[in-house]
Amino acid sequence: MQETQKTVVVCPMDWGLGHATRMVPVIELMLQAGARVIIAADKRPLAFLKQRFPECIFEQLTGFSPKYPRLGALMPFVMAANLPKMLFQARRARIHLKDIIRKHRVEVVISDNRYELHSTGVYSVFVTHQLHIQTRGWQRLFDPLISKIINHYFVKFNELWIPDVEGMPNLGGILSHPALNLTVKQTYIGLLTRFSQQKTRSQKTDYEIVILLSGPEPQRTLLEKNMMQQALSLNVNAVIVQGKPEMEEDVQHHHLRVVSHADDQTMASLIYGAELVVCRPGYSTLMDLTVLQKKAAFIPTPGQTEQEYLARKLFAEGRAYCDTQDHFNLKTAFETRDRFIGLSGFKQGNSLQVAIDRLLDQDLLKNTDSDEST
């Protein structure tokens, strides 16, 4: 492919690190193709991507990160109460994005789960695995309304990129393969992982359990305290990665090591060397685990229906142990790890490369019919 000088702005959602980590292969391939990449992010995603891509141009683009309630059952009410603030922040982000587009003469916007970040005059790509928002109990009464709302946002983009494989077996299940008739163009781009272009099996560590922390507060900290207590009670070498790229801490507590963050190569080695990985079943984390084909135990964030669905799906397929945050037992998860087959058997191709080549080679639309309202 001919080198391109197209300018692309990549905008990951800032609810935890997952949306930033899964943009790593997208950014890598864009840079290899000769694109000029602007990264517009905030908080921990911004810190992580600055470390990972110091050669890129960065813009701080404020998002909205709600605090998760301590009781998962309260999640729908907390989200509803935060809706006015979310809409206000979304409008402000749209205005800021327009400034970034003008400043850097951007031609392509790649928005990872930020529904508001599209603009007329540029080609807008929306990256999401959530084509079907999960609900439970009485919340299912609102499924038709939720579908209508998200479809309203989807059509404002020129294209949807879905990080999953198109056939079976697939990782996302009904999340990424719903029975919906969407009018916007859809492209399955395979499982995105920051480890895909590395020699991930080059070095094995001595940690039998690796515990990865991520996601919004206060649930991240609550899980950290829980896992530290349980890990210290086991006679097993373990490491906790706190998911705090803005900090530099490395503390040893007997047979338990606690580090604030790990670079990609170190993280790959830790995961590859572990007998068990304990983490949230966030979709980006699951994609990382597939390339390393690891055995895992999952603790869904209380009230986060997507993670609850994915954990149940993988448990039902015999791939991974799971339990709720209140009842999760680290000793049981470690002792039963061999009953599960792990995250393997997903076919990977070059669909992401094909999508990027097509995007950068084509004559992009200079005018779209998107509605400028949020």
Mean pLDDT of 97-116: 94
Give the pLDDT confidence of 292-301 residue by residue, as tens digits: 888 999 999 9
pLDDT for 240 equals: 97
pLDDT for 82 equals: 58
Q: Exposed e or buried b for every residue in 280-291, given b needs 16+ CB within 10 A?
A: bbbbbbbbbbbb
Please identify which residue in the block is written with the tokens 């009842």.
327
Percent of the chain residues past pLDDT 70, beyond the cut: 82
Residue 79's pLDDT band (cuts 50, 70, 90): low
d(CA 191, CA 187): 12
Residue 242's pLDDT band (cuts 50, 70, 90): very high
Nearest to 43 by CA among 201, 203, 217, 246: 246
Residue 137's pLDDT band (cuts 50, 70, 90): low
Q: How many residues does the chain have?
A: 374
Decide: 110 and 192 in contact? Cβ < 8 Å.
no
pLDDT at 196 over 90: no
Instruction: Tell me which CATH homologous superfamily contains domain 209-339.
Output: Glycogen Phosphorylase B; (3.40.50.2000)
pLDDT for 371 equals: 46
Residue 367's pLDDT band (cuts 50, 70, 90): very low
In the chain, where the domains are located? 7-191+348-361, 209-339
Nearest to 199 by CA among 262, 265, 294: 265
pTM of the full structure: 0.83
Mean pLDDT of 216-222: 85
Domains 7-191+348-361 and 209-339 fall in the same CATH topology: yes
Give the pLDDT confidence of 35-44 residue by residue, as tens digits: 999 999 998 8
d(CA 60, CA 77): 29
Output the CA torsion sign for 52, 56, 58, 64. negative
pLDDT at 370 over 60: no
Which CATH architecture is the domain 7-191+348-361 placed in? 3-Layer(aba) Sandwich (3.40)
Give the ranges where the chain is alpha helix by DSSP (H). Answer: 18-21, 24-32, 43-52, 75-104, 143-154, 219-233, 264-273, 283-292, 305-316, 330-335, 351-361
Say which residue, 347 or 26, is predicted with more confidence: 26
